[in-house]
Amino acid sequence: MVQFYSPNRRSVNPGIISVTADNLDAQGQGIARHQGKTIFIPGLLPGEQAQIQLTEEKRQFAKAKVVKRLSDSPFRVEPRCPHFKVCGGCQQQHVATELQAKTKAGVLEHLIQRETGVSISAEPIIHSPEYGYRRRARLGLQYQVKQRKLLLGFRQSQTNDLVDVKHCPVMHPELEKLLQPLSQCLNSLKAVKRLGHVELVLANNSPIVVLRHLDPIKHEDREALRIFSEQYKVAIYLAGDEKSLELLSFGALFPGSLSPEHLAEGQSEPWYQVGGLKLVFSPRDFIQVNDEVNQQMVAQALSWLDLQPEDRVLDLFCGMGNFTLPIATKVQAVVGVEGVAALVASGQYNARLNGLNNISFFHENLESDIHQQPWAAQGFNKVLLDPARAGAAGVMSHIVKLAPEKVVYVSCNPTTLARDSKVLLEAGYHLVSVRMLDMFPHTGHLESMALFCRERMTIE
């Protein structure tokens, strides 16, 4: 008889053990030690004692669940969301936000020190409102045949099932109040079984609903959606099959070229403000989820760059110009480089809209050979980059070649930030300042930004 052995998971002792958590990780899990092994325990806070049961054990660490909590931390708070512990969207509403942010800052500091050898504080933290901060959310739709009901909500933790969300306190109140009436509206549609998902977006001039549907929406359903739009003063957009859904993020949303179909007549294009400027965007364009942190982040980046009228600035992974346009108001010239054509088109439109004629946008793949790209031959004395989670490995050596005075790196992944930082440090740059951005309270997401200078200096 052949026996198979799996080295990935060890058998777990079913016995109950008592531990006291001494730390918290970025995901909100308590960290305890028992017999020399680190144990990660969801729901347990530093200083709390509990009886736990191991659920998974490996050579270096173990995971466990709380059987009985024996004490409470002063940082334990009552979650505001009725779906907490079921919904997979937020994991840390039981943790006071000041401990959440401080823990993430500590994780960032530890990672940078481990990877680069540089010890630096990630404070002061750029803080967010505790609740009501999300101006964008994507919700799944799932039709239950037996109950004859469409669920609207987020995935349950570690499953594909949806939580039928009635309230979501991390959403901006203008979006949260749409959840129940929108669910009722969608449940009334003839096409209720053939809907994909919904995106809610809050522009400065209107809430937006983007409805993904699998079959053409017929007249009766269109009228129901039109009535909903008028009643709740919401702009509704339809996204059809997979092809049109993909095109949605490429179609420039400007008067006369709306994509997808704009149901409510007389609506102006959606826009938001940053740095005193108006940025028009398509409902499917990427915009920062947390408006208040975005405003602080842009202001901090401009302050760190110490922009002067004679500066030439390079903005890599520039999107639709969230940083590019505010930078342009203070310098001689700025160049934005972005890999998504629709975002480049949005940036160009917004530059014209705001009367900024010192911006050049380039649509280029920053993962390919950038040395042959037209922007790469230009000179810049300051650089900002805001890459996706994969980081900016392909451009770091070129940034060094440009030899800018200052580099501001905005990151949504501390691991790739630490990796890319080493290229600058090895080239003689100094890591002058780091900030933790509390972009997504109650979640494990960690955003940050770092300032590198060619000359050693201090930031007050």
User: Is 185 part of any known ligand binding site?
Assistant: no
What CA–CA distance (Å, rounded) separates 223 from 231? 12
User: Is 381 part of any known ligand binding site?
Assistant: no
Tokens of 450: 């770092």
User: Is 168 part of any known ligand binding site?
Assistant: yes
Report CA 430 to chain centroid distance, whole Å. Answer: 27
Report CA 46 to chain centroid distance, whole Å. Answer: 27
Amino acid, single-letter form, for residue 156: Q
* Helix or strand (DSSP H, E) at 54: strand 49-57
- Residue 105: strand, helix, or coil: helix
User: Is 413 part of any known ligand binding site?
Assistant: no
- Residue 295, CA distances (Å) to 79, 93, 366 in order: 27, 24, 26
Nearby residues of 2 by Cβ (< 8 Å), 6 or more positions away: none
Tokens of 353: 């809209």
Determine whether 412 is an active site residue: yes
Q: At what angle do helices 414-426 and 97-116 cross, to 10 degrees?
A: 40
User: Is 81 part of any known ligand binding site?
Assistant: yes
User: Is 453 part of any known ligand binding site?
Assistant: no
Catalytic residue, from 185, 318, 412, 453: name it. Answer: 412
Q: Which is nearest to 301 in space by CA: 288, 286, 284, 285?
A: 288
Longest dimension (CA), the chain: 79
What residue numbers does the annotated binding site for S-adenosyl-L-methionine cover?
288, 317, 322, 338, 365, 386
What residue numbers does the annotated binding site cover?
81, 87, 90, 168, 288, 317, 322, 338, 365, 386
What residue numbers does the annotated binding site for [4Fe-4S] cluster cover?
81, 87, 90, 168
Active site residues: 412
